[in-house]
Structure 1
Amino acid sequence: MTSTPPHQSILDRPFVLDLFAGPGGLDVAGHRLGVPSLGVEWDRSACLTRYAAGLDTLHADVSAVRRESFESLPPEINVLAGGPPCQTYSVAGKGAGRKALEEVKKFIARLMAGDPDEEIDKELKNLSDPRTALVLEPLRYAIQATRSPNRGHRPYDVIVLEQVPAVEALWVRYAEVLQKIGLPDGTKYNVVVDVLDTETFGVPQTRSRAVLIARREGLGEPSLPDATHHAYEAREWNRRNGGDAAAVPAQPTLYDAEVPEPAPHPDADDELKHWASMGDALAEPVGTHLGRKTPFLVRSNYGSSGVPGRRGVRTDRQPATTVTGRISRFVVFEPVGDHPDIVREGPRFTMNEAGMLQSFPPDYPWSGTAKAQQVGNAVPPLFGAHLLSAALGLPAPAPEAMRKPWAPATEEHRAKLRSHGCGAADDCTARCPRPE
């Protein structure tokens, strides 16, 4: 475990339980802040990445841990964090979760009233998509903490949650019940909720997230992190730089290498920095990353502005579009020799580069299969560091800290982590979740 940083936190020794931990976005953030964490993750490949990165992990189903082994969790955990799977709520999915929002809100009320878990579990099975119910798990963990003899029935001090914007309505409901009703044992929290844009925190990618930060009463009023960078405004960019990048044809034949630098923002005299671009993240060599030649142009693999046949296109001087599991399919175009007005398809983003667009450190040891999906599902570490810093009262993180190369775990350390997380040093065991 890393030690607590030498600056003032609202907690003497913050220790994070990261639910739905993925490949480690929030845990990398905690590592850079000097805050220890334990992640619970269902996906085998994401766990392999975490072990390779040296992150404490339980390869387990979040719901099963709550039901069957909550008492085995470290009692000193005092921060609950997580980003439940978003597929059913995402605008990119079928929307089962959006249709079930009102029904899920009713379950929230029942949980706060102390209804039996068995009864609620039985009814949750009737939801059209079982993943929809996972958004309730953070609340169920918060309640379970107050019932845990191993913890001395002590509630979590801080709660940090993030999800796609469509879940903001549920976070608002979380806030209402945590502040007005309180957990079944009477514990109440002060809560803030909002939708934040990751590029306003230095992430070289446009991505909006609904976030919740809660502090137990007596620990002060929570606040959202302060933006450090200007928001990226696509219309403003297109107006200033001579056209709509998304209008580039499916097979680009022209690229204006003399695109001017972005005009000063109207509020350029304030302290906010210009948003970070793909070129900012990838052009300079760092660690084993040799740097990507600029200029370049990227065409995403999914529709732009809600039009499936229209592929979003951006230049290296813009932030990436939202990084998803399709990042490996993004097509990158580069100028041809001494003819910058003509482009050809170049090498696509490596997983290292895709991770860097998510603000993961260079050399992060992506492992297992479906690496692109791991990258796309992750919390951007720089954004996560801002959330944790605001929640704990720590100074805002420096973007440079995230760019430092990541030292992978030794084979011995990796084996030790897997022995704890899976039950064996070199393989999964019967206690690990089955993929099906």
Structure 2
Amino acid sequence: MPDLFAGPGGIDIAARQLGIHLTGIEWDDNAVATRTAAELPTRHGDVRLFGPGLFRNEDGLAAGPPCQTFTNAGLGLGRSALALLAAAVKAAGTTGQVATPAGLDDRTTLVLEPLRWILQADAAGAPYRWIVLEQVPAVLPIWQAYREALEARGYSAACGVLNAEEYGVPQTRRRAVLVARLDGVAKLPAPTHRRFVKGVPQSAGDPSLLPWRSMADVLPGRGPFTVVSNYGTGGDPKARGRRASYEPAFTVTGKISRLRIVEADGLEQDRLTPSEAGLLQGFPVDHPWSGADISQQIGNACPPPLAHALLTAATA
């Protein structure tokens, strides 16, 4: 089954844990190096040059298109095109063909690629039985348009914005997601952990849910520390965020290597290792990060615990 824009393997690791066989399509040499080291099935190339029919089992489709033009930290090219992209999705749902709006950045229009695969599989008489899509919160209007297009083709679909710490990820990351299925009612996964609220103890909250996970929970060898953001919060470089080790991390981005780790007495610890940064993104401690731009690989990845919840909701 295809995993489009597969990156270093966040969704694939969760799929392997669940016994789901995914083959990732990824163009970035560095992410492919990590995937190869992790023995994750991979097709190295541009998603736009592939299509349904390449895999032995195409029961489902997972995808996490590039987010750079949609993030608050970027220039906002994708955010300014949301209405155009949503209209393109709705039109494709009617015509069965994806027409890419002219004049948009290539990275922005890649958000339409999963729909091309979905429509082509449907036209070939072999529709995907389940679909999982993941992106930054700004993309929710596009997923809502996807939902309408899928429901018109017999799917049950649900979309919304989830908080990653509510699924065991030790960071406060928000993601727009879509879950669709042909067999049964699609629902977003129910939280397994409590939501982080600044100043509220980890032990407080709904007793039926697990506590949110802190940085200290996954980095116990570090001792108490404070993380000082070197790139600001909300895209504002002047807003230096701070989080204590007994709290979850900020959203992990490709700039995670810039984070300063400061002890109570003001002394600075070494910066996060790739393994430690990966742990904050929910990866196993032994994930074999390879190639260059490892911080970017980690920041772009879907957290495996969140992917696990999404895949379970789509396939259980």
Normalised by the length of structure 1, the TM-score is 0.70
CA distance in 1: counterparts of 2:106 and 2:57, whole angstroms: 31
CA distance in 2: counterparts of 1:92 and 1:385, whole angstroms: 27
- Cα distance, 1:38 vs structure 2: 0.4
- The corresponding residue for 1:298 is 227
- The corresponding residue for 2:178 is 212
- The corresponding residue for 1:5 is none
Instruction: Identify which of 42, 56, 59 aligns with 2:27.
Output: 42
Question: Which amino acid letter does the alignment assign opposite residue 156 of structure 1?
Answer: Y
Are the equivalent residues in 1 in contact too, given 2:7–2:301 (CA < 8 A)? yes
CA distance in 2: counterparts of 1:373 and 1:272, whole angstroms: 32
- Cα distance, 1:343 vs structure 2: 2.1
Q: Within the alignment, does 1:192 sit opposite 2:129 as a pair?
A: no
Q: Within the alignment, does 1:223 sit opposite 2:199 as a pair?
A: no
Are the equivalent residues in 1 in contact too, given 2:172–2:249 (CA < 8 A)? yes
Aligned pairs for 1:4-403 (under 5 A) are 16-66=1-51, 70-71=52-53, 73-114=54-95, 120-121=99-100, 124=101, 126-148=102-124, 153-179=125-151, 181-182=152-153, 188-216=154-182, 219-234=183-198, 237=199, 262=201, 264-265=203-204, 267-268=205-206, 270-283=207-220, 292-304=221-233, 307-335=236-264, 342-393=265-316
Question: Which amino acid letter does the alignment assign opposite residue 106 of structure 1?
Answer: A
Superposed CA deviations along residues 360-416 of structure 1, whole A, max 9, x for unmatched, are 0011100111000000000000110011011111xxxxxxxxxxxxxxxxxxxxxxx
Superposed CA deviations along residues 326-355 of structure 1, whole A, max 9, x for unmatched, are 0111010124xxxxxx22111110000000
Are the equivalent residues in 1 in contact too, given 2:72–2:235 (CA < 8 A)? no
SS at match of 1:301: coil
Question: Which amino acid letter does the alignment assign opposite residue 54 of structure 1?
Answer: E
Which runs of 5 or more residues in structure 2 are unaligned? none
CA distance in 2: counterparts of 1:230 and 1:115, whole angstroms: 41
Question: Which amino acid letter does the alignment assign opposite residue 144 of structure 2?
Answer: V
Are the equivalent residues in 1 in contact too, given 2:136–2:176 (CA < 8 A)? yes
- Cα distance, 1:263 vs structure 2: 6.8
Are the equivalent residues in 1 in contact too, given 2:140–2:176 (CA < 8 A)? yes
- Cα distance, 1:307 vs structure 2: 4.0
Question: Which amino acid letter does the alignment assign opposite residue 162 of structure 1?
Answer: E
Over 3 Å counting, the alpha-carbon distance change for 1:144 and 1:343 in structure 2 is same
Superposed CA deviations along residues 281-339 of structure 1, whole A, max 9, x for unmatched, are 111xxxxxxxx23111111122135642121111110000000000111010124xxxx
Which runs of 5 or more residues in structure 1 are unaligned? 1-15, 183-187, 241-261, 284-291, 336-341, 394-436
SS at match of 2:240: strand
Are the equivalent residues in 1 in contact too, given 2:26–2:44 (CA < 8 A)? yes
CA distance in 1: counterparts of 2:240 and 2:127, whole angstroms: 47
CA distance in 1: counterparts of 2:9 and 2:24, whole angstroms: 8
- Cα distance, 1:25 vs structure 2: 0.2
Question: Which amino acid letter does the alignment assign opposite residue 257 of structure 2?
Answer: S
CA distance in 1: counterparts of 2:95 and 2:235, whole angstroms: 42
- Cα distance, 1:115 vs structure 2: 6.0
- Cα distance, 1:273 vs structure 2: 1.7
Are the equivalent residues in 1 in contact too, given 2:215–2:245 (CA < 8 A)? yes
Aligned length in residues? 316
Normalised by the length of structure 2, the TM-score is 0.96
Q: Which moved more, 1:94-103 or 1:201-210?
A: 94-103
Question: Which amino acid letter does the alignment assign opposite residue 359 of structure 1?
Answer: G
- Cα distance, 1:177 vs structure 2: 1.8
Question: Which amino acid letter does the alignment assign opposite residue 213 of structure 2?
Answer: A
- Cα distance, 1:136 vs structure 2: 0.7
Over 3 Å counting, the alpha-carbon distance change for 1:312 and 1:130 in structure 2 is same
CA distance in 1: counterparts of 2:271 and 2:22, whole angstroms: 33
Q: What is the identity percentage for the equivalent residue pairs of Structure 1 and Structure 2?
A: 46
- What root-mean-square deviation, in Å, do the aligned CA atoms of Structure 1 and Structure 2 show? 1.6
Question: Which amino acid letter does the alignment assign opposite residue 193 of structure 2?
Answer: H
Question: Which amino acid letter does the alignment assign opposite residue 256 of structure 2?
Answer: I
Question: Which amino acid letter does the alignment assign opposite residue 110 of structure 1?
Answer: A
SS at match of 1:214: strand
- Cα distance, 1:106 vs structure 2: 2.1
Over 3 Å counting, the alpha-carbon distance change for 1:316 and 1:191 in structure 2 is same
